[in-house]
Amino acid sequence: MDIPEVKRVSAVKRDHLARLAKEGKRPDGRGPDEYRPIKIERNVIKKAEGSARVKIGNTMVLAGIKLEVGEPYPDSPEEGAMSTSAELPPLASPEFEPGPPKPDAIELARVVDRGIRESKYIQLDKLCIEPGEKVWIVFIDLHILDYDGNLFDACSLAASAALQKAVIPNERYGFGDNEPLPVTSPPVSCTFVKYENFIVVDPNLDEEQIAQARFTVALDKNGDIRAMQKGLKGSFTIDEIKNNIKRAQIHAQKIRKLLEE
Amino acid sequence: MDIPEVKRVSAVKRDHLARLAKEGKRPDGRGPDEYRPIKIERNVIKKAEGSARVKIGNTMVLAGIKLEVGEPYPDSPEEGAMSTSAELPPLASPEFEPGPPKPDAIELARVVDRGIRESKYIQLDKLCIEPGEKVWIVFIDLHILDYDGNLFDACSLAASAALQKAVIPNERYGFGDNEPLPVTSPPVSCTFVKYENFIVVDPNLDEEQIAQARFTVALDKNGDIRAMQKGLKGSFTIDEIKNNIKRAQIHAQKIRKLLEE
Amino acid sequence: MDIPEVKRVSAVKRDHLARLAKEGKRPDGRGPDEYRPIKIERNVIKKAEGSARVKIGNTMVLAGIKLEVGEPYPDSPEEGAMSTSAELPPLASPEFEPGPPKPDAIELARVVDRGIRESKYIQLDKLCIEPGEKVWIVFIDLHILDYDGNLFDACSLAASAALQKAVIPNERYGFGDNEPLPVTSPPVSCTFVKYENFIVVDPNLDEEQIAQARFTVALDKNGDIRAMQKGLKGSFTIDEIKNNIKRAQIHAQKIRKLLEE
Amino acid sequence: MLIKDGIRMDGRKPDELRPIKIEAGVLYRADGSCYLEWGGNKIMAAVYGPREALPRHIQDPTKAIVNARYNMASFSVEERKRPGPDRRSTEISKVTSEALESVIFTELFPRTTIDVCIEVLDAEAGTRCAGITAAAVALADAGIPMRDLPVACAAGKIDGTIVLDLSSEEDKEGEADLPVAIAPRNEEILLLQMDGHLTYKEFEEALELAIKGCKEVVKLQRKALLNKYKTFEVE
Amino acid sequence: MLIKDGIRMDGRKPDELRPIKIEAGVLYRADGSCYLEWGGNKIMAAVYGPREALPRHIQDPTKAIVNARYNMASFSVEERKRPGPDRRSTEISKVTSEALESVIFTELFPRTTIDVCIEVLDAEAGTRCAGITAAAVALADAGIPMRDLPVACAAGKIDGTIVLDLSSEEDKEGEADLPVAIAPRNEEILLLQMDGHLTYKEFEEALELAIKGCKEVVKLQRKALLNKYKTFEVE
Amino acid sequence: MLIKDGIRMDGRKPDELRPIKIEAGVLYRADGSCYLEWGGNKIMAAVYGPREALPRHIQDPTKAIVNARYNMASFSVEERKRPGPDRRSTEISKVTSEALESVIFTELFPRTTIDVCIEVLDAEAGTRCAGITAAAVALADAGIPMRDLPVACAAGKIDGTIVLDLSSEEDKEGEADLPVAIAPRNEEILLLQMDGHLTYKEFEEALELAIKGCKEVVKLQRKALLNKYKTFEVE
């Protein structure tokens, strides 16, 4: 049984954030609907078929895309496949430990994966090489470099950006020239946390550490919902959930613009 | 090195059982040659090719059979294969821990496996699909639900009962209609423990916890011996072993009737 | 993160060795350039395709060679492959623990492997059965039996001796008669440690436990260098390294004679 | 074609649950337990604790740790599943632990764990909701103090229609699945996941339907607990 | 055809053992050790302890824990074995630990472990009996107090005949294998396993033969221990 | 043909390094950090500590433990690498830990660990030297007291010529690779590995060249640390 790690935050910090929250203030001075600065850099890794480094405030993640030839799933013999992994390496935070992915990392990878998969961002039906025999497998690897909160949005954004300009490595396999990976319109993920009945977007580490509940929604270009995940040990009211989605629809439009630049 | 778990039983309980044993009495009032009530239910799992839930007193186990197509062993290219696993999940006892099978679970599965294999209960020679290429692999999975002693007999009985009515899932593989799994006559297992020089059949948990030695024998329909296993840190005399087998021959006949109902 | 095991040596022993070192003396009375007695026995394991038991003083290791048919690496379709593993089983030392190979065992195997590989001792190009499809894989398994220091040289020597008389098991695979494994001239490994600015060849356990730095060099029959490895937490000067190599060239010639007997 | 003339392939109306059967207190060793059948799902849940958390360094001095372990038996699915946790079950264990901890008065039991074992013995879509529902009954059966009895149910979209409690085929062929767990008294959301495609309007409709489903299921949970209580009285 | 005119394929009579060679005290680091050759088997056994059991939570305050670890070298069998324990060796380690613990005065060494390492270097049927036999000598060599010197030997059935100490081919082609370990003084059974097909009568015969075998082997164990003692005297 | 008219395939002279870029203090959470590009290599290094070594039984009461963990990102190589340590990275982690510990005043911080994380994000030959070089800057950035700033560089042999700092193709096709780490002040050898074929004379030449390379690289390390210091002053 994986024991969820006991998160220790000093009582002083907790009280300080609680006091601020009552006045509708956040520890770093942002408003409840304000993201930290977002920065996207693409093609930062030469060996990868696609890559992107994303910063949201001090949080920094790197997504790398690799394609390999593999067998299709028996129930979709003419479709490629995708696989998403996340590593929380000790490099990125004093709390991260080496070893195989723990529940936190697995949840993170699976939520990012669902957003991409359900919005049909990668055109898997165009990744068949030989029906029933050979298809492209797209590996999305999320590598956290600096952890200051909101990995869900940072990783989702990095994965989307990395896929956007990724190539199919035909040359390496002697299949002819490389070509762009066929993609449609990326999902955009928006994450909120709730503490002291205060719900804020894009939590930083301090906020995550005292948060009672977390909510992530992945939206497509029409603002439709493609994936959602409520996390942590508290609860949301129905209205809070609905409100989060409406707020996310506004944020997602802005973030989508960064992706399309 | 797997450290055998230190079994802690209160001194009071131990003394109580020792006193009873001296008078030839068991903690639950049974005689030394008395099984607890046995209940067999078959086909309880729809997704399995065969299944049985067996209760012996408060002990409850579930056996599920799955068949898969696989490659034969090189030295028996025209024979199917079988594989037996046991899980002691934390659901069944406060002492069980999650994780890969520990020595206890491995011994349990291997003893059950030997009884079935050595009595040639599954007709493996009838499970060839394509010689040297494709055969049926029979997976026997033993899932403990409630642990109150004597898992060896409960699991052996559940496996035998589950195999008895199992089917070959030809339909799922497009091989035509399902057919019954070819089986002969099942083995029947009988387990004894010895404590305070008192040897009893079908030990309950209290008895197992203070037992010095355990003995299991699997008998075929003629009362011949197909597998045996002595366990635990004590010893038996030659006469005790012989006597156990003779006692088992009588029990096995009764249990076999339950299987044939 | 694999935490290097804290090596505990009594302060008394450490002081004793330090005092001896200042006088240029070793705890077992050897000179700094003196190996312990070396003994090589070949073909000690019938089931192995080649084997050798090597003793250097009280240190005893067993190398076993097994050949299997496997696929070649894509970039060398006409070459066999080799793989070297070392086990430090609890049998050989009170400090060794069961479980998968730890960094110590991995380094040991990799250094032995490099010596053999880089001196092209096994003629991998003669181990092709069917180009691109089937080649021989040579498994070198190093099994430590008694650990009293200098496993690097003992294992390297055992591997070399075992390969020298190994056979290709054609019969087992129905490929015709067995034939000798094609080998050239073996590498010879020489290991030094430094403690208290005293550098000695063939350290025993006491010396290894207080050593600050270790140096291993594998030499071919011309005295050329094929592999080197500096280990442990201290350092060598450039002159010390050069001197070690020159000393090794002399030792290696003597050890090579033992191999050629 | 998953729905025709307002009737689903298994004969259900869009807002109809599959048949559910719940039994509390079915295991001898566990502190609390529940056996649940929901459509083709068969679930056994057991609760152990509160008991001392071990090894000690995992103890939380302020509250109990809730550890739910969702596990599928290897024979519970079409293709035999290799024993042991995979990524999917690890995620479900995590969100289930969190959903259940929401309602438990964990601060009453510092330094302990409350272990919730959910074994899926036979699987046919909706196992995570069925597992949470069974676990809730097992927790109550174990006498763990909770501020409400949690319950879970999914809604989804098939052929463009919002429906309750997807069957296996509907889950595979449908357009969206929305599993939800709530504390029914004041409709707090304890668990919410979704994958597929829903407009905001459809989501509102689906959430409402899922909550309606939860409120039907909670009646069955309460009945099961009452039944066990009655049985004891008769004995 | 495994037996002809009462003679087995390797020339042995039905009640004849394969050649056995035992040497005690062969390792420098171990507290006790034994090298044993038995037919084509080559076994090295070492004993460490009694020593403090670590980590502490595994300590038994009333007695020593006996940990036997049976391991096959990867080159000891026809097809290379992947290093590390498999299910077979885990079971053998367990029954070997239990058999040896039967005779050791463990209550003299509370909170300790006695570690018994059995390495099969070359394998040819009957390794578990050979391993126990070697381990017993290593335990005695380590000075571990025992109420008797345990010893093991198998009997079996080939071509309908009960025979002692199966060879590799007899084990593969034969009808039954019955490995037995005893405390020879009063013939207590410490280990008994069986697979194959034996009538009750045949079992009685086989058990008697196995015990007869054990009693021959124990003489060789004693001689090996004596030899080591003598060697020390001479030195 | 890796070298022609004294010029290597990438245009370098035999004793020329690939382009190197070093930046110190690039991470927010780490106690010290460094980002380094060296040819096609991209390395991120972070240092945490000294901090209490846990679990306690690994603590050394006389000094800090230095744990370097060398890891390659799965996308850093041509064929995707499975996440997690393999045998190669385990060996590199070990020799890197040892090389760095040589220069750290570990006895100042008993019972602690100093954790050095080296992530290879993009790989093109020479990652172990690049990793040690980056780690050294991260250690200095973290304020860990060292008796010298370690630095690493490889020499090798291609087409019979001793050259500095092998490229990927040179590493694959060349005749020898000699990675070396030194404490530059008095040219102590902290790490030295070699595979290939060198006569003793060639080795002397290669070692001299590697040390010359180290001494160039250490200037860039110092500049990076100075730059960070300047940046702080300006801010």
pLDDT at D207 over 60: yes
The tens digit of pLDDT for each residue in F161-203 reads: 999 999 999 999 999 999 999 999 999 999 999 999 999 999 9
Residues B118-151 pLDDT 10s: 999 999 999 999 999 999 999 999 999 999 999 9
Instruction: Say what the pLDDT of residue D150 is.
Output: 98
User: D171 CB near a chain B CB, below 8 Å?
Assistant: no
Is the minimum CB–CB distance between A26 and chain F shorter than 8 Å? no
pLDDT digits (tens, 9 = 90+) for D107-117: 999 999 999 99
Question: Mean pLDDT throughout B92-115?
Answer: 96
Q: Does B207 touch chain D (CB under 8 A)?
A: no
- Which subunits sit against B, judged by 3+ Cβ pairs under 8 A? D, E
Of C135, C189, C143, C139, the C-alpha closest to C166 is: C139
Q: For residue C173, what are its two tokens?
A: 């695979």
Is residue C168 within 8 Å of residue C140, measured between CB atoms? no
Could you give the residue ranges of the DSSP H alpha helices within chain B? 11-22, 103-118, 151-164, 205-210, 238-260
Cβ count within 10 A of residue D82: 7
What is the Cα–Cα distance from B247 to B253, expressed in whole angstroms?
A: 10
Find the radius of gyration of the CA atoms of chain D: 18
Least confident of B6-15, B204-213, D157-166: B6-15
Peptide bond between residue E50 and the one before it cis (omega within 30 degrees of 0): yes
Q: In Å, how far from its chain's centre is CA B154?
A: 5
Cβ of residue E169 closer than 8 Å to a chain B Cβ: no
CA pair distance D100, D132, nearest whole angstrom: 8
B235 at E interface, C-beta within 8 A: yes
pLDDT of residue C261: 78
- For residues C43 and C161, give the distance between their C-alpha atoms in angstroms, rounded to a whole number: 9
Share of chain F above pLDDT 90, in %: 94
Whether omega for the bond prior to residue C100 falls within 30 degrees of 0, making it cis, is no
Are the C-beta atoms of B206 and B187 separated by less than 8 Å?
no
> Sign of the CA dihedral F137, F142, F148, F152?
negative
CB atoms within 10 A of CB F41: 25
Give the total residue count for chain D. Answer: 235
Alpha carbon distance, N-terminus to C-terminus of chain F: 51
Chain B residues with CB inside 8 Å of D115's CB? 90
Q: Hey, what domains does chain F have and what are their CATH numbers?
A: 3-229 (3.30.230.70)
A136-163 tens-digit pLDDT: 999 999 999 999 999 999 999 999 999 9
Angle at F204 between CA F202 and CA F209, to 5 degrees: 95
Residues linked to residue B68 through DSSP beta bridges, in sequence order: B137
Angle (nearest 5°) at CA B2 between B1 and B6: 130
- B8/E contact by beta carbon, under 8 A: no
Percent of chain E with pLDDT over 90: 94
B11 band by pLDDT with thresholds 50, 70 and 90: confident
Say how many Å lie between the first and final Cα of chain A, rounded: 45
Of D93, D194, D207, the CB nearest to A227: D194
Residues C122 and D193: their CA atoms lie apart, in Å, by 58
For an interface test with B, which of D37, D72, D80, D168 has the most B Cβ atoms less than 10 Å from its Cβ?
A: D80
Helix (H, G, I), strand (E, B), or coil: what is residue B148? coil
Q: For the residues E192-219, what does the mean pLDDT come to?
A: 98
- pLDDT tens readout for residues B215-254: 999 999 999 999 999 999 999 999 999 999 999 999 999 9
Could you count the other beta carbons within 10 Å of the beta carbon of residue C197?
11
Helix boundaries (H) for F162-199: 168-173
* Neighboring chain E residues of B226 at a CB cutoff of 8 Å: 195-197
| D102 vs D146: CA distance, rounded Å | 9
End-to-end CA distance of chain C: 45
Q: How far apart are CA A230 and CA D94, in angstroms?
A: 11
Q: Find which of E57, E78, E90 to mutate to test the B interface (most B CBs within 10 Å of its CB).
A: E90
Tell me how far apart the alpha carbons of residues E139 and A229 are, in angstroms, rounded to a whole number: 59
> Is pLDDT above 80 for A63?
yes
C-alpha span between B127 and B139 (Å, rounded): 13
Domains of chain A: 27-260 (3.30.230.70)
Q: Interior CA angle at F97 toward F95 and F100, to 5°?
A: 105
Decide if pLDDT at E233 tops 80. no
List the single best residue of C230, C237, C242, C243 to mutate versus F (max F Cβ within 10 A).
C230
Please choose, from the candidates F62, F63, F44, F45, the residue with its C-alpha nearest in 3D space to the C-alpha of residue F113: F63
Q: How far apart are CA F228 and CA F235, in angstroms?
A: 11
| Helix pair angle (E200-234, B238-260), 10° resolution | 140
pLDDT band at B5 (very low <50, low <70, confident <90, very high): very low
Out of B2, B107, B225, closest to residue E203 by CB: B225
Q: Give the bridge partners for B208, in sequence order.
A: none
CB-based contacts of F187, cutoff 8 Å, min separation 6: C237, C238, F211
Amino acid B3: pLDDT: 37
pLDDT per residue over B148-174, tens digit each?
Answer: 999 999 999 999 999 999 999 999 999
Residues in chain E: 235
Query: How far apart (Å, rounded) are the C-alpha atoms in residues A143 and A96?
Result: 12
Q: Which pLDDT score, from 0 to 100, does residue E232 have?
A: 62
Does D28 reach chain B within 8 Å, measured CB to CB? Answer: yes
Give alpha helix (H) positions in chain D: 87-101, 127-141, 168-173, 200-234
* Amino acid present at E159: D
F146 has which bridge partners? F104
| Residue B54 to residue B37: CA distance in whole angstroms | 10
- C-beta atoms of E189 and B235 within 8 A: yes
The H or E element containing residue B155 is: helix B151-164
Helix, strand, coil fractions of chain A, as percent rounded to 5: 30, 30, 40
DSSP-assigned beta bridge partners for residue C139: C66, C83
Q: Degrees (nearest 5) of the Cα angle C137, C141, C143?
A: 175
Residue E107 sits at the chain B interface (C-beta within 8 Å): no
Instruction: Show the tokens assigned to F223.
Output: 């500049």
- pLDDT value of position A8: 61
The model's pTM: 0.95
Mutation target to probe the B interface, by most B beta carbons within 10 A, among D29, D70, D115 is D29
pLDDT digits (tens, 9 = 90+) for E77-133: 999 999 999 999 999 999 999 999 999 999 999 999 999 999 999 999 999 999 999
Chain D interface includes B100 (CB < 8 A): yes
CA A75 to chain centre: 28
In chain D, residues with a C-beta closer than 8 Å to the C-beta of B65 are 75
Mean per-residue pLDDT over chain A, rounded:
95
pLDDT tens track of chain C, all 261 residues?
A: 333 344 567 788 889 999 999 999 999 999 999 999 999 999 999 999 999 999 999 999 999 999 999 999 988 999 999 999 999 999 999 999 999 999 999 999 999 999 999 999 999 999 999 999 999 999 999 999 999 999 999 999 999 999 999 999 999 999 999 999 999 999 999 999 999 999 999 999 999 999 999 999 999 999 999 999 999 999 999 999 999 999 999 999 999 999 987
Distance CA C242, CA F198 (A): 13
User: In terms of CA atoms, which chain B residue is nearest residue E175?
Assistant: B118
3-state secondary structure (DSSP) of residue C252: helix
Give the mean pLDDT of E226-234. Answer: 75
**CA C185/CA C206 separation, integer angstroms:** 33
- The C-alpha of C92 sits at a distance from chain E's nearest C-alpha, in angstroms, of 7
> Residue D205 burial (CB < 10 Å; 0-12/13-18/19+)?
middle
Instruction: Supply D2's token pair.
Output: 């998953």
F116 reaches A (C-beta below 8 A): no
Could you tell me which of F107, B45, A97, A9 has the C-alpha nearest to residue D42?
B45
Contact with chain D for residue A117, Cβ under 8 A: yes
Q: Neighbouring chains of D at 3+ CB pairs within 8 Å?
A: A, B
Measured between CA atoms, the residue of chain E closest to residue B234 is E102
- What is the nearest CA distance from E77 to chain C, expressed in angstroms? 6
DSSP state of E167: -
- CB-CB neighbors (< 8 A) of D90 in chain A: 2, 103, 106-107
pLDDT score, position A13 = 87
Residue of A51, A68, A93 with shortest CB distance to F29: A93
Q: Does an H or E element contain C206, and which?
A: helix C205-210
What are the tokens at E190?
């410490």
Six-digit token pair at A126? 């165009």
In B38-169, beta strands by DSSP E: 38-42, 50-56, 59-70, 81-87, 128-130, 134-146, 167-168
B89 interfaces chain D, CB cutoff of 8 Å: yes
**Beta-carbon separation of F44 and A65 below 8 A:** no
Distance of CA E40 to the CA centre of its chain: 14
Please give the pLDDT value at position D232. 61
Position F18 pLDDT exceeds 50:
yes
Which one-letter amino acid corresponds to residue C73?
Y
**Is B234 in contact with E102 (Cβ distance < 8 A)?**
yes
Residue F58 with chain C: CB contacts under 8 Å:
3, 6
Is A122 exposed, middle or buried (CB count within 10 Å of its CB: 0-12, 13-18, 19+)? buried
Q: Exposed, middle or buried, A260 (CB in 10 Å: 0-12/13-18/19+)?
A: exposed
Cα within 13 Å of Cα(F124), Cβ side: 18
Q: What is the mean pLDDT of residues F53-76?
A: 94
Given this model, what pLDDT does residue D165 score?
Answer: 98
Report the amino acid identity of residue F73.
A
- Average pLDDT rounded to a whole number, residues E12-17: 97
Which of residues D53 and F229 earns the better pLDDT score? D53
pLDDT for B261: 78
Over residues D152-175, the mean pLDDT reads 96
CB-based contact C51:C63 (threshold 8 Å): yes
Test C139 with E71 for CB contact under 8 angstroms: no
Query: Cβ of A236 under 8 Å from any chain D Cβ?
Result: yes
